């Protein structure tokens, strides 16, 4: 067991603009990381929604003008930046790395977890990203099934959830 404590772990926390992911991050910092005397590296991951593209599902498709695309890109980039800043402010006395990836958060989280060989994935039970409504709840289910490492799903207590 001592070996495990001495080991420098990589812990991936998926963050988005929702309060629940920030609560998950805080819970992880208070319950998982602090106890290891900051030996761990915390990897903050934000998944940007993929750009709209032609869909092959039914042959129909759509395109946005370059202006609108540029505006959307700028907005999502600013959003990612503000989320990361907010998350980093919570991380005191912890080694932190940040990553912003583009794609379906379900895939992005599992892919980054595998690529970096993290020891644990931490995420809220809902979300993630601008397309969270479309994937409500399914991100945590998907990651719990597909990620090749332990997955910690943190739900906001009802007592504070309603101010979300």
Residues in the site for a copy of itself, rule: CB under 8 A? 1-2, 4-5, 9, 24, 27, 29-32, 34-36, 92, 119-120, 125, 137, 140-141, 144-145, 147-155, 157-158
Nearer to a copy of itself, 100 or 149 (CB): 149
Q: What does the block give as tokens for 12?
A: 């991936």
Nearer to a copy of itself, 13 or 80 (CB): 13
Largest CA distance in the chain: 58
From the list 137, 142, 133, the residue with the least C-alpha distance to 155 is 137
Smallest separation, CB 71 to a copy of itself (Å): 36
CA pair distance 84, 90, nearest whole angstrom = 10
Nearer to a copy of itself, 16 or 40 (CB): 40
DSSP for residue 20: H
Residues in the chain: 164
Smallest separation, CB 130 to a copy of itself (Å): 23
């Amino acid at each position: 067991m001592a070996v495990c404590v001495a080991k420098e772990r990589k812990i991936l926390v998926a963050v988005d603009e929702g309060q629940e992911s920030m609560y998950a991050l805080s819970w992880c910092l208070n319950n998982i990381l602090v106890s290891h005397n900051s030996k761990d590296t915390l990897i903050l991951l934000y998944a940007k929604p993929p750009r709209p593209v032609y869909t092959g599902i039914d042959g129909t498709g759509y395109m946005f003008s370059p202006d609108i695309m540029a505006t959307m890109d700028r907005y999502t980039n600013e959003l990612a930046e503000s989320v990361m800043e907010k998350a980093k402010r919570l991380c005191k006395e912890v080694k932190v790395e940040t990553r912003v990836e583009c794609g379906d958060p379900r895939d992005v989280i599992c892919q980054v977890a595998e690529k970096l060989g993290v020891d644990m994935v931490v995420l809220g039970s809902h979300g993630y990203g601008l397309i969270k409504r479309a994937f409500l709840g399914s991100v945590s289910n998907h990651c719990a099934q597909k990620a090749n490492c332990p997955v910690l799903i943190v739900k906001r207590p009802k007592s504070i959830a309603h101010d979300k």
